[in-house]
Each structure stands twice: as C-alpha cells, then as structure tokens.
Amino acid sequence: MGKIGKHIAIYGKGGIGKSTTTSNISAALAEAGYRVIQIGCDPKSDSTNTLRGNSYLPTVLDSMREGKKVHLSDVSATGFGGVLCIESGGPVPGVGCAGRGINAAVNLLQDLNLFEEYKPDYVLYDVLGDVVCGGFAVPIRDGITDRAYVVSSSDFMAIYAANNLFKAINKYAPSGGAKLGGIIANGLTAGYSQAIVDDFTSRTGTKAVGYVPRSLVVSQSELFGKTVIEANPTSGHADIYRELAKYIAESEDLVVPNPLGVSELRDWAREWGDRIYDTETGVVQESLGI
C-alpha cells in the first residue's frame, strides 16, 4: 500500500482510554495544521465520537454488509479541525469475527484509494488490544503501520494487554511488521502507579512516551461530545495531549520490545503487591517479602 503519511497504531485494552487519547492526538495534530485520518478499528465503533459531537458514523463493515458499492463518502465524515473520521465497525453480535472484519475494512479503504485521495500527513488506527489475535494484529502485521503505541494504566490487566502487544510486535517485526514507539501511561492517579508503569517499561526495554493523569477535564469534555483540545483548549490537559501529539508525530525512536513470559509477568506483578509508596517523598520501598 502506498505510504502516504505516517501510519500509527494505538493499542490498549478495552476501556483504558485509547479512543480518548487517539482523538485528542488527532485533534492536536489537526490544530497544528496537519491533515489527519483517524480509523477506529474497535468493534465498539465509537473511536471518533468526540471529534464529531458524539455522533455515530455508518461503519465500513455495516456498509459492506448492505451489499451495495461503498463510496468513501458513505463511511467517512469530517470532524474537529478537518480530521477525517472512519470506523471499521464490527461483526453482527454473535456472528463472525471482529479481527477478520478489520482486515476486510482496511482492504476496502485501500481499494477505494483513501490515502491517495486524502493525502494525509498522519493516519491513526485506534485498535482494541485485549487479545492481539491474528485479526487485531493486522494493522501491525501487514505493513499497514510501521509503529505502534500502547495505552496502559498501572492496572495489571492493562499491563497484561500491553505485554501481549509486545509479544505480537516481537513476532512480526522481523518480517516487516511495526515496531513499538512506547507506552502512553493513562489515567494514573498516584506516583505509585507511575512507578509501576516505569518499572514495567524498563523490564521490557521500552519507555513511557507520555503521562496523562486521570482528570475531570477529560470526563467533562467527553460529556460535551468533544475532545479536551476542543472543549478545554487552555487546560493543562490540552497541553499534555499537544506535547504527546508532537512527540508521536516527530519521534523515530522505535524498538522491538522484550515481552515478559507468563510466569515472569505474574512474578513481576507480585513484587509490587506489597511495596510501600510514600506519598510525601514519592519513594517506593522495596517489597517487604510477605
């Protein structure tokens, strides 16, 4: 496929803040004057809602299922700052395979010459990453993107999902798959959580490329059906997203991570189970060995 623009995949477990983060990055890049496409590759199909006042888009898969010829204008809409929004969609509940659906949707967009027509500077793929099965790995596996980031909090299940993505990258990078840009730490509430994420990145040969604290500004912007960049452009959080967007736009620091094995990950998590965090000094004391 023609590499028009930088193609970036953003993975993470369901509900961790992928769409919120991706949409704010898209909005920040659009605000900086770039042409941006955001493709939601989550069967939930709500990736781009805050770029378009909380409205749903007809999905690529729904349109394909109608059996008529699909035009780009049927499945795309312009959102904040001119971001072109697309949702791959999902299978009919109880039937079909979400991963295979992503593949079909991405192929169709290529056949419709989306990138040649729109000439984007950046294309962001918002991909569900609880399980990186063959289908969900399509954006990093088949040369569609050359870089992936993963949104994670310090919760074990979020880190577990990040580690799964590392495994998939590790498998496919040698044959032309995407590399890892790093972790976007989202929803952190305390220094202890940041210390957990930092320890995980250092164990796996990666790094955190941004820290987005949990904030009411994010929740309230979402209630307005907007990104933080649009609803609260002068807030500290808007600047956090702008800085993150700038980093992701410019960075070429990509690695093949070293995922932890199943029991290694469990043992690592256990080490953190009884560590003591001093909220005043920010010092994490070593495990008490309980």
Any contact of residue 214 with ligand ADP (CB under 6 A)? yes
CB of 89 to Mg ion, least distance (A): 13
| C-beta of residue 147 within 8 angstroms of C-beta of residue 178 | yes
Applying CB under 5 A, which residues contact Mg ion? 18-19, 42
Of 249, 5, 250, 9, residue with least CA distance to 117: 5
What are the DSSP calls for 113-177, one per residue? THHHHH--SEEEEEE--SS--TTTTHHHHSSS-SEEEEEE-SSHHHHHHHHHHHHHHHHHGGGT-
Alpha helices by DSSP H, the chain: 18-31, 60-65, 72-75, 98-111, 114-118, 138-141, 156-172, 191-203, 216-223, 228-231, 236-250, 262-273
Of the candidates 46, 74, 121, 130, the residue annotated as catalytic is: 130
Contacted by 17, from ligand ADP, Mg ion, none: CB < 5 to 8 Å by type: ligand ADP
Question: Residue 211 in 3-state DSSP?
Answer: strand
Which residues are 184's β-sheet partners?
151, 210
Any contact of residue 187 with ligand ADP (CB under 6 A)? yes
- Residue 49 carries which DSSP code? G
CB of 64 to ligand ADP, least distance (A): 23
Name which of residues 19 to 38 contact ligand ADP (CB under 6 A): 19-20
Smaller CB distance to Mg ion: residue 121 or 130? 130
Residue 18 a catalytic site member: yes
Smaller CB distance to ligand ADP: residue 212 or 256? 212
CB of 212 to ligand ADP, least distance (A): 5
Of the candidates 18, 126, 146, 179, the residue annotated as catalytic is: 18
Smaller CB distance to Mg ion: residue 42 or 146? 42
Smaller CB distance to ligand ADP: residue 30 or 218? 218
Contacted by 110, from ligand ADP, Mg ion, none: CB < 5 to 8 Å by type: none
Smaller CB distance to ligand ADP: residue 14 or 91? 14
Report the residue from 28, 212, 229, 238 that binds ligand ADP according to the rule CB under 6 A.
212
Any contact of residue 218 with ligand ADP (CB under 6 A)? yes
Residue 171 a catalytic site member: no
Taking each helix axis from N to C terminus, what angle separates 156-172 and 262-273, rounded to the nearest 10 degrees? 150
Question: CA dist 92 to 41, 43, 54, 172, Å?
Answer: 15, 10, 22, 29
Active site residues per annotation: 13, 18, 44, 130
